[in-house]
Amino acid sequence: MENFNSFNLSENLKKSLKGLRFTKPTEVQSKTISFAINKEDILASAETGSGKTAAYLIPLIQQVSTNSKVSGLVLTPTRELAQQVADVAKLLVGYRSGINISLLVGGASMTNQLNQLKKYPKIIIGTPGRINDHLSRKSLSLRYFNFLVLDEADRMLDMGFGEQVDKIVEHLPEQRQTLLFSATLPKEIIKLSKKYLNNPKRVEVKDNNVIKSQIKQKVVNTKTEQKYDELLDEITVRKGSILIFVRTKYATEKLKKRLTRDTVKSSALHGDLRQNKRNRILEDFRNQRFRILVATDIASRGLDVPHIGHVINYDLPQVPEDFIHRIGRTARAGSIGEAVSFVTPSDKKMWKSIEKLLDQLKNPDKQNRDQNRDQNRDQNRDQNRDQNRDQNRDQNRDQNRDQKPYRKRNRKNSKSRKYYQKTSK
Ligand code: AMP
């Protein structure tokens, strides 16, 4: 696919794409857009950084602007991601389109959101909790929202939003188009897709942007008590913005304080901060007012700050998949990035799992081979088990049959013995 022309997009969208300098669709965009414009449901496994936001926003905006009966709801797991999606949506819609977009996320002013809703937005982007708040206070009706996007669905489930999403879907019309995007496709997501999607087209992005060679990886084997000094060394030798991941909210604040004491300016980002503070910190980081952001995994997904040159895993994540999302914060849109990971002796097991995952993602063919091997092994095991069970059943039945006359004979004998005893008395 050379450019966006083959999709027959509205003039407005074409102009916006030009303004954004999106000249060629990314892989996930080429694969998704034509299906989605043709009103197909889609189950897409696309990594962060692949261009998935525009992959669903372009067909949504195209449909909304050409058909007055289409309205779209985009659900995201985090407020930050919702904000980012809303920003891209506004740029794609353009200023004079007359299409209202509403952002409904927790931690933000209710009054403002109620005012937005009075303008009958055609596109709503939000997080499950706040959308449900509006539904239960009846300030929002989703009766006509017939285009649903579930973005980062795996993360949504990880964060325990499954029930909230169920509740929201109950308010949507049954006749609708649904697009589900997920970085990974565990069985919970497949189950979810069966529940919400109707005969979906599968979109798979083979070219795994996140672990492309643009991300240079460095591993620092160290001890817990030496980690901080190693961190200072890494910060000193690196130029440009750095995102440091730690495990807990408390650890973000603690590390920020330590860095401040050593005259290194940084900010801490975590889920306990008020939403407007979170927004302000991100905006300052985006505008390069400070260079170092210390964050929990709240920043591991979706965050799109092109100038992050380095991701430092000061603490390893709790699940290997988060490592992929973390390092995907660097090397955005084709730039170069570096990832540094501190590995202490107690991290060895997690690091092994991460390496295994990286290896699988880099060698999808090998992964397929392994999967096939596992499938075959499971099939053989099941077949053998069934065969053994059948054989045992047959054997038992035959044995029982053989034993029956014997038992009967015995019973008969015993009766006759009794009879004999009786009569002989
Ligand atoms: P996403 O995966 O949606 O977070 O997008 C990752 C980055 O790719 C963002 O910075 C987008 O602005 C950028 N991007 C998305 N689509 C295109 C495109 N067709 N051409 C160039 N950059 C793009």
CATH number for 92: 3.40.50.300
Q: Is 186 helix (H, G, I), strand (E, B) or coil?
A: coil
Both 62 and 87 in one domain: the answer is: yes
* Nearest CA owner, ligand 1 atom 5: 51
Would the pLDDT of 21 be above 80?
yes
Band of pLDDT at residue 214, cut at 50, 70 and 90: confident
Angle formed at CA 194 by CA 192 and CA 195, multiple of 5 degrees: 65
Task: Give the pLDDT confidence score for residue 125 in this predicted structure.
Answer: 98
Q: What is the pLDDT of residue 411?
A: 45
Domain shared by 300 and 178, yes or no = no
Q: If you measure from the C-alpha of residue 393 to the centroid of ligand 1, how many angstroms do you get, rounded to a whole number?
A: 61
Do both 8 and 129 map to the same domain? yes
74 and 104 housed in the same domain: yes
Averaged pLDDT score across all residues of the chain: 85
Task: Pick 406 or 169 by higher pLDDT.
Answer: 169
Residues 186 and 288 in one domain: no
**Stated pTM of the model:** 0.66
Instruction: Give the pLDDT score at 184.
Output: 81
Q: Which of the pair, 275 or 201, is modelled with greater confidence?
A: 201
Comparing 159-173, 312-326, 381-395, the range with the smallest average pLDDT is: 381-395
Residue 398 lies in a domain: no
Structural domain including 77 reads 4-204
Residues 167 and 87 in one domain: yes
Residue 401 or 291, more confident? 291
Question: What span, in angstroms and rounded, lies between the C-alpha atoms of 280 and 30?
Answer: 35
270 and 313 fall within a common domain: yes
Residue 365 lies in a domain: no
Residue 155 lies inside a defined structural domain of this protein: yes
Give the pLDDT mean for 311-315.
97
What percent of the chain lies above the pLDDT cut of 70?
Answer: 81
Q: Is the pLDDT of residue 202 over 90?
A: yes
Is residue 23 domain-resident?
yes
Give the pLDDT of residue 288.
Answer: 92
Residue that finishes a domain, picked among 204, 219, 237: 204
The number of the ligand 1 atom at minimal distance from the alpha carbon of 26 is 19
Q: For 245, which DSSP code? A: E
* Residue 87 pLDDT > 70: yes
The tokens describing 219, both together, are 């591993």
Of 3, 28, 304, best ligand 1 pocket probe by most atoms within 8 Å of the beta carbon: 304
pLDDT tens sequence across 40-70: 999 999 877 788 999 999 999 999 999 999 9
**Ligand 1 neighbour 22 (Cβ under 6 A):** yes
Residues 252 and 336 reside in one and the same domain:
yes
Q: Is 325 in the pocket of ligand 1 (CB under 6 A)?
A: no
Whether residue 397 lies inside any domain: the answer is no
Does the beta carbon of 53 lie inside 6 Å of ligand 1? yes
- If asked whether residues 149 and 268 sit together in one domain, one would say no
Tell me, using a 6 A CB cutoff, whether residue 26 lines ligand 1: yes
Q: Is the CB of 25 under 6 A from ligand 1?
A: yes
* Of residues 371 and 341, more confidently modeled: 341
pLDDT higher at 290 or 334: 290
Instruction: Determine if ligand 1 sits within 6 Å of the CB of residue 51.
Output: yes
Whether the per-residue pLDDT at 212 is higher than 90: the answer is no
Q: Are residues 214 and 68 in the same domain?
A: no
**Considering 315, 330, 349, which residue would you say is the last residue of a domain?**
349
Q: Which atom of ligand 1 is nearest to the CA of 24?
A: 19
Return d(Cα 29, Cα 22) in angstroms, integer: 11
- On whether residue 362 sits in a domain, the answer given is no
On whether residue 407 sits in a domain, the answer given is no
User: In this predicted model, what pLDDT tens digit does every residue of 241-265 receive, in sequence order?
Assistant: 999 999 999 999 999 999 999 999 9
For residues 82 and 160, membership in a common domain is answered with: yes
Residue of 2, 7, 26 to test ligand 1 pocket, by largest number of atoms within 8 Å of CB: 26
> Same domain for 111 and 181?
yes
| Ligand 1 contacts CB of residue 54 (under 6 A) | yes
pLDDT band (50, 70, 90) for residue 307: confident
**What was the pLDDT predicted at 30?**
92
Q: How many domains does the chain have?
A: 2
Domain-terminating residue out of 324, 349, 374: 349
pLDDT at 369 over 50: no
Q: Which residues contact 121 (CB under 8 A, 6 or more apart)?
A: 71, 100, 101, 102
DSSP string, 158-181: HTT-HHHHHHHHHTS-SS-EEEEE
pLDDT for residue 211 is more than 60: no
Residue 68 maps to a domain: yes
Question: Is there a contact between 243 and 300 (Cβ–Cβ < 8 Å)?
Answer: no
